[in-house]
A and B are shown apart, each in its own frame.
Chain A
Amino acid sequence: MDSREPVVRTESLTKYYGRVLALNGLGLEVRAGEVMGFLGPNGAGKTTTLRLLMGYLRPTAGSATVRGLDTWRDSVAVHARTGYLPGDLRLWPRMSARAIAGHLARLRGCSHDPGTADLAKRLDVDLDRPVGELSKGNRQKVGVLLALLGDPELLLLDEPTSGLDPLVQQEFHRMLRERADAGTAILLSSHILSEVERVADRVAIIRSGRLLMLESLAGLRKKARHTVEVRFGSPPPPDAFAGVPGITDVRLDGSVLHCTMQGVVDPLIKALGRYHVLDLNSREADLEDAFLALYGEEAVQ
């Protein structure tokens, strides 16, 4: 099959739970070799999308395919190509990670050990203790290991780093990058912008079941907003920052400037250079603010 063909393709994918609309006409493509960040607040429809792709849920309308296979009708064939980490991971508490990995490997038809030891070493997973005795973070590592087992060509990861400590997160992100470079398609859901930023090539932002935007990471950075706070030695004139490109929501409180900055920082710096600056504070707006600001009207509708 053409490697440029998307591995995952959803068309007008829609899911109602009873009369509640959980996913509204999602169209999404994930290509081989790319990490797609799937971003949105809790309850936006990320988990619903991943469970539709796993064939756990039947689409109310629209369709989803993996390598051309229908995710509902051909779910067994889809599973053979897919590694999945559920958002709410539940394992058999009395079994060790090694035993669970062996069980899943046998279900996948591998008679040999498909690299469990190697993965365990990189993720620092305790293979031999019953998973019920592990901390939440360590259990999550087991879940990550199980998803990566056997080099699937598609990874569906629902909030994979929740509970992981930063060092393991880094290693995990490196592993995802390696897999993607080797041609794996990865769809990774998160509600944290900074995580997606570190690892994703493209980002799909979803809210209330609708796709709000689909961007490359560079595009997202361009749109990302910062709230800026500047303290001056003496109050600048009231309209000093009125026409600066990329600057909005300007508010001057005596000698303190509050504003929102989008895109390139240079115009603001040049404008500030004319005054005596005591202190400058810039903070990236968190995701919620970012897409509420960008897509506020649409989100309300």
Chain B
Amino acid sequence: MTAISAARAGIARHGEITRQALRAGRRALATWAAAFACMIAIYAVIWPSVRGNTSWRNLFDTLPQTYRALFTASGTIDLSTPAGYLGVELMGFLGPALIAVYAITAGSAAIAGEEDRGGLEVTLSAPVSRAQLLAQRFAALVIAVATLMIATGAALWIFSAMLGMGLGIGAIASGAAALGIFGLFCGAVAVAVGAATGSPGAARGVASLVAVASYLINALAQVTSALRPARPISPYYLVLGNEPLAHGLRMAGAVSVLAVAVALVIGGGVLFARRDLG
């Protein structure tokens, strides 16, 4: 093989598994993107009626601190601004929950799901290392989550403009990025556990547990002093705890959550390379 054809072979291989994974998952991804856009549309359409409705706002104000902590990332509720309203409705619970469900589903399928159905043997019959496979499948997950968040951001931007919500592009980007990073973290846990164990059930279970725990730690830390020291280890708190739609993305939190996600995938990859395929 000449150097040129070897280089060409390298380029042909480069990213092929990622492209294949995205091709295989494109329908699901399109459906999810549409679902996110619909969710944004519904919240946006309701916004004008919320803005003028002071009694609902008062109701929220009378809720006990625990309830408010569960509804929102930071415990403060300001329904008078679009960012505050969406912070409660979109960023507090449903947004992170949905993106986590998507990322955990896709992440557990990336290695463990396919291995469980016996599909990995065909891919790995090609000259591809397990580390390569894992890295490229994880890259596909990153691209898919980013795509979802771009769709979400675009929907936010369009409806904000249509309904005069006045959300800035920076605020929208921060909110979408924060949701995406949280989702990606949950997905990375699923990828890593799936790669390490080969069990899609374990991947989904552990990742869901981590997602829920990270949400609950943030919420309960606001009302229980015993849990307060644990709050900074919650990925939910680190990326969503400051209401990024209103106050921007906290870079330190975002970078550390992403770093842990990548470290988990690398750790999963090390175990993946050492074990028997199921």
Interface residues of A (CB under 8 A from B): 51, 54, 56-58, 75-77, 79-80, 82-84, 86, 88-92, 94-95, 100, 103-104, 106-111, 146-147
Contacts and interface: CB of A to CB of B under 8 A. Distances in A.
Contacts of A79: 124-128
B53 interface: no
B17 A56 contact: no
B214 to A, nearest CB: 33
B126 A58 contact: no
Q: Which of A79, A103, A111 has the most CB of B within 10 A?
A: A103
Contact of B117 (A76, A77, A90, A147): A90
Interface of B: 8-10, 12-13, 16-17, 20, 24, 117-119, 121-129, 274-277
Given A79-B126, A107-B17, A86 B121 contact: yes
Given A82-B125, A90-B121, A109-B127, 13 more contacts: A54-B121, A58-B275, A76-B128, A91-B119, A91-B122, A92-B24, A95-B24, A103-B16, A106-B16, A107-B126, A108-B127, A111-B9, A146-B125
Contact of A107 (B16, B24, B274, B276): B16
Contacts of A84: 121, 125
Nearest to B277: A56
A90 B119 contact: yes
B26 to A, nearest CB: 10
A111 B126 CA distance: 14
A76 B118 contact: no
6 A-B pairs with the lowest CB-CB distances in the bound complex, closest first? A109-B9, A107-B126, A90-B118, A80-B127, A56-B277, A84-B125
Contact of A109 (B12, B117, B125): B12
A108 B13 CA distance: 7
A110 B1 CA distance: 12
A107 B122 contact: no
A63 B11 CA distance: 33
Contacts of B17: 107
A127 to B, nearest CB: 16
A94 B118 CA distance: 16
Contacts of B124: 54, 56, 79
Contact of A106 (B13, B117, B274, B275): B13
B276 A56 contact: yes
Contacts of A89: 118, 122
A96 to B, nearest CB: 12
Nearest to A100: B122
Most chain A C-beta atoms within 10 Å of own C-beta, residue among B8, B16, B122: B122
A103 B124 CA distance: 12
A104 B126 contact: yes
A116 to B, nearest CB: 15
Contact of A57 (B9, B13, B276): B276
Contacts of B274: 58
B126 A56 contact: no
A94 B121 CA distance: 17
Contacts of B277: 51, 56-57
A76 B12 CA distance: 16
Contacts of B121: 54, 56, 84, 86, 90
A107 B13 contact: yes
Given A79-B124, A86-B122, A111 B276 contact: no
22 contacts: A51-B277, A54-B121, A56-B124, A56-B276, A56-B277, A58-B274, A58-B276, A79-B124, A84-B125, A86-B121, A90-B122, A91-B119, A91-B122, A92-B24, A106-B12, A106-B16, A107-B16, A107-B127, A107-B128, A109-B13, A146-B122, A146-B125
